[in-house]
Structure 1
Amino acid sequence: MSNITRRTLFKALAAGAVVSPLPLLSEARPPASECGPITPRWGKGIEGQRKADLGDGTYLNPIVAGDHPDPTILKDGDDYYMTFSSFYSYPGLVIWHSTDLVNWAPIGAALRKQLGTIWAVDLCKHGDRYYIYLPANPDDKRWSIYAIWADDIRGPWSEPVDLKIFDCIDPGHVVGEDGKRYLFVNGIRRIRLTDDGLATDGALEPAYSPWRYPDDWIVENFAPEGPKLLRHNDWFYLITAVGGTAGPPTGHMVIAARSRSVHGPWEHCPHNPLVRTLSASEPWWSRGHASLVEGPAGDWWMVYHAYENGFRTLGRQTLLEPIEWTSDGWFRAKGGDLSKPIRKPAKGKTSSAGFALSDDFSTDRFGIQWAFHDPSSDEMKRVVRTGNALKLAAVGTSPADSSPLAFIVPDRAYQVEVTLELDSDAEGGLLLFYNHKAFVGVGFARDTIKTFQYAEEQVWGRVPIANRRVRVRLTNDQHIVTYEYSHDDGRSWRLHPTRMEVSGLHHNVFGGFLSLKVGVYSAGSGGVVLRDLRYRVIERS
């Protein structure tokens, strides 16, 4: 292949040249010594997706792989629930369930009303009712904090209630020693809530001046954020993130303070920071935004997020680390080297983990797998389900001005294929999508194959076709992306002539705190029918 020029290959493909299916890079690659470190040995979950539980009483982080940042966790009897920032994805705020803190599976989305981007939220229970406090930025105009509630964690969830706490993010709910309810927010500031938790009862006021790290530490910025509160042994503990969320790998960190009263005064933990990446050689970067939770056996754990070394494209993933309470009434993290397995929480009943990403489109998987990126309020009207197919009505002229349908990927190397059938003058394609300014992929119009790179079509790369039904395959092997397509339902494949390298499609380049998702778009007029999407992991030794 290396001896074929681009022009020659384009001519061959335009003439209908057929190539053999591409070998996976795990079948034809240099020795491990030339490829850097050997991939850690995770467990194998559904479809071969990486799984934290190793099946021998230990686990290897992450506990929830792929883009699941700003985890907020709730212990509810023997059950644990967690949700994450969902940003521009709708349906959003997918709630996950576990009984052992290691194996997690989604149960459904709590938010369906479009509120713009959704950042770090707080999931809590007060009395018999569940609440999620969420910062949102409708129409990119002004941040406010909203509340949704449910009498059953599985829903239905209420419509959002605007608490009119403006220009704040990262709420953390706590009940004070006075029995009153409070939200702490970035800053770190505090505001009292009414007893029902659905309105404010007082003014926003300063609550705590966080511990400062030395000026010569390599961080992004101070940025005190993500306050999470816990009452334990007559102390209130305030766990906070400082140092910036992304930027340098050593920036983000976890600090703590405590007080006898929710009103303070707060004393800094003498062991701060409790969690911090110290070197870019570590497996997890930018570790922070932590919550504490009691395990099934009464021991204690810390849940937080981090970027995977070399794979910022996957977004911030959820990690679990054991802690211990010390004789002075503080706590410390004791996970050690996170590249190695850790003993699972004791006495937890193993629950299901993950879910299949392959989809035959026979059931509704919106809010579990699928979500629109930055949709309009009536985006779901674009979707029509017919048998084992999903028709996606066309919007916009290309991926740059449409709302793709996308899902989060958990693995470093994977392959996705799907059948697209074009209706009317629609075009559709398969993408790796970060946002409207950062995506790659291939599109199929009535008579043309289009190549999208650097978030725009490379017009010089158009290839003529004459087929309204195509099966397209995308292989992302550790940032190296290859495309193939078939007009006989996968019996033979044509190689698309452009491979791409996508390691730079992440927050530190494009902002937004997002991840590189697999997406499908439908543009023009008419629609695109999707059939038989298959996901599989590329195995490595």
Structure 2
Amino acid sequence: MTIDRRSALKAAALAALAPKTAQAASAPRGFDRQAVPDLGNGTFLNPVLSGDRPDPAVLKDGADYYMTFSSFDAYPGLTIWHSRDLVNWQPRKPALFKNIGSVWAVSLAKHGHRYFLYIPVKAAQNDIFVIHADHIDGPWSEPVSLGLHAHIDPCHAVGEDGSRWLFLSGGDRVRLADDGLSVVGAVEHVYDPWRYPDTWDVEGFSPEGPKILFHDGWFHMFTAVGGTAGPPTGHMVIAARSRSIHGPWQHHPDNPLVRTTSDSEAWWCRGHATIIDGPDGSWWALYHGYRAHFWTLGRQCLLDRVVWGKDGWPRMIGGDLSRPLPKPRGGMALPHGMALSDDFASPLALGSKWTFFRPAPDEEQRVRVEAGTLHLTAKGAAPSSGSPLLLTAGDTSYQFQCDIEIDAGATAGLVLFYDDKLYAGLGFDAERIVTHQYGIERGRPAHAYGQRLSLRITNRRHIVAIHISGDGGQTWKRFDRGMEVSGYHHNVRGGFLALKPGLYAAGQGEARFRNFRYSALDD
């Protein structure tokens, strides 16, 4: 079947599924005016989880769905999200507190009555770790090394004979012990992934992110190829199947199942899919993709409709995901997302909301919340060395502000932070304003505000304006340096991260933050 023919069939199937009175492709607003996916009329609009939500690992556990994502250098990491309908998601608790390296695509599984997370990390020595818990909210065990130093993207799978396996990048796999906490034997190569035409614009072959599904007598393997970022047309989903977990594997006749074919589409670099059944028995794929022209927001979590053909193969029919799709029926709709604003009236939501960038083992000791104030001990000389506290924002336009008080000798401020080499924002000490741009500290003009200052950063489709206030936010003055941050992303810097709003404290002593406010803006 030709690619053009498959596209036409997908479009026809989507038209048949679309509601007769489809709402315009604009989402309602939730916490802090953030867009929510559920349109309230039986349809939803992607993404189902906005912001940096790469490499979704999904588990269906009875009527509950759980999902987590690559957390890279953010700690606490691997926050578990919960849904009953695949569209509305709420954060629960982080599963990983010990910094074991940059966390890449994990596998979330349940075997018997125990939950498992298999965690690949990029560190001084790459490895795959396992943690486990008897409840999805933990407590999770300490990480145990599996000694797998040459692979990423594990996927837990159980064979027809009850054997346990990790499928790995590159078409390899390794057997697990019966308890799932160690490997048995050597890694073996079991699958040669389908290859795309060499005329396609991709980042690289990079077969990764295998996901195994047993359905109707077949083991189905879904793999990402084409690279994670790079050209918008690079990432894609391919599939293969076998009657046995041991192979042989046959390629899907219509590979790839999903791929961005033009930069005019709404979502770029779509891949890393998990196929799962909805509460009504319908089938869906959860995968990630970049919003067109917004590499800075990272890979966001997308929900695509799946149908099973008479030939027993699955096909994704959501098109470019720019239009509303019918929701799965049934399943209780939970309140979606969370507020990013914080009045610091309760313990800091570390992991589920705030995360440290590349923290030291004792990083949490820097934080104390008391009487509506976040006390943050200063660290390093600037955001680059100060492990800032960050949030994941999913809006194309937003602003955030905070009242800040510093000790003499401290520097503090607000940032848009990609990593320790690329960030922007504004800070101050008792005498000077500090401009952060291109990941360096630039202007240091004197100011007359002393040790208290309110800062506000507005990011409107990558155009950044900064305002300052010396009277607690009653009146604002625009700072005289604007910025443009569309290049603060992976294709420029590498690292697979996203540009995140946050705050930092450097130098000596501490900084005190009050009335942190986030608000999504209309474009």
Range class of TM-score, shorter chain: over 0.9
| Cα distance in structure 2, aligned partners of 1:400 and 1:259 | 49
TM-score, L = length of structure 1: 0.91
1:310 to 293, 297, 315: 293
| Cα distance in structure 2, aligned partners of 1:495 and 1:522 | 22
| Cα distance in structure 1, aligned partners of 2:101 and 2:413 | 25
Q: Which digits, 9 at most, give the CA deviation of each residue in 1:183-212, with x for residues without a partner?
A: 001011000000110000111010100001
| Cα distance in structure 2, aligned partners of 1:455 and 1:382 | 23
| Cα distance in structure 1, aligned partners of 2:266 and 2:32 | 24
Q: Does 1:76 align with 2:61?
A: yes
More displaced stretch, 43-52 vs 271-280:
43-52
CA contact (8 A) 1:252 1:276 kept: yes
| Cα distance in structure 1, aligned partners of 2:32 and 2:47 | 17
Match of 1:214 in 2: 197
> Which aligned pairs between 1:112-511 and structure 2 lie closer than 5 A?
112-137=97-122, 140-363=123-346, 364-459=348-443, 462-511=445-494
- Size of the aligned set, in residue pairs, is 499
Match of 1:25 in 2: none
Q: Which digits, 9 at most, give the CA deviation of each residue in 1:358-397, with x for residues without a partner?
A: 0011222111110000011111111122211111101111
| Cα distance in structure 2, aligned partners of 1:521 and 1:64 | 26
Match of 1:87 in 2: 72
Give how far 1:515 is off: 0.3
CA contact (8 A) 2:267 2:320 kept: no
CA contact (8 A) 2:390 2:502 kept: yes
| Cα distance in structure 2, aligned partners of 1:471 and 1:320 | 39
Counterpart code for 2:34: Q
Give how far 1:424 is off: 3.1
Give how far 1:40 is off: 4.6
CA contact (8 A) 2:408 2:451 kept: no
SS at match of 2:384: helix
> Which aligned pairs between 1:15-34 and structure 2 lie closer than 5 A?
none
Give how far 1:495 is off: 1.2
Counterpart code for 1:387: A
Q: Which digits, 9 at most, give the CA deviation of each residue in 1:78-112, with x for residues without a partner?
A: 01000000000000001000000000010010000
Q: Which digits, 9 at most, give the CA deviation of each residue in 1:480-532, with x for residues without a partner?
A: 11111111111111211001000010000000000000111111100101111
Counterpart code for 2:38: D
SS at match of 2:213: strand
Match of 1:515 in 2: 498
Counterpart code for 2:380: G
2:87 to 102, 112, 124: 102
Give how far 1:355 is off: 0.4
Give how far 1:163 is off: 0.9
CA contact (8 A) 1:315 1:515 kept: yes
| Cα distance in structure 2, aligned partners of 1:413 and 1:150 | 38
SS at match of 1:427: strand
CA contact (8 A) 1:450 1:463 kept: no
| Cα distance in structure 1, aligned partners of 2:474 and 2:196 | 60
Alignment identity in percent?
A: 53
Counterpart code for 1:124: A
Q: Which digits, 9 at most, give the CA deviation of each residue in 1:193-237, with x for residues without a partner?
A: 001100001110101000011111111110000000011111100
Q: Which digits, 9 at most, give the CA deviation of each residue in 1:157-199, with x for residues without a partner?
A: 1111111111211000100111010000101100000011000
SS at match of 1:254: strand
Q: Which digits, 9 at most, give the CA deviation of each residue in 1:334-366, with x for residues without a partner?
A: 112411100001122211210000001122211
Give how far 1:464 is off: 2.5
| Cα distance in structure 1, aligned partners of 2:446 and 2:30 | 38
Q: Which digits, 9 at most, give the CA deviation of each residue in 1:241-280, with x for residues without a partner?
A: 0000000000000000000111110000001000000000
| Residue ranges of structure 1 left out of the alignment (5+ in a row) | 1-38
SS at match of 1:392: strand
CA contact (8 A) 2:108 2:117 kept: yes
Q: Which digits, 9 at most, give the CA deviation of each residue in 1:418-459, with x for residues without a partner?
A: 011101310101000000111000011111011111111113
Moved over 4 A (4+): none
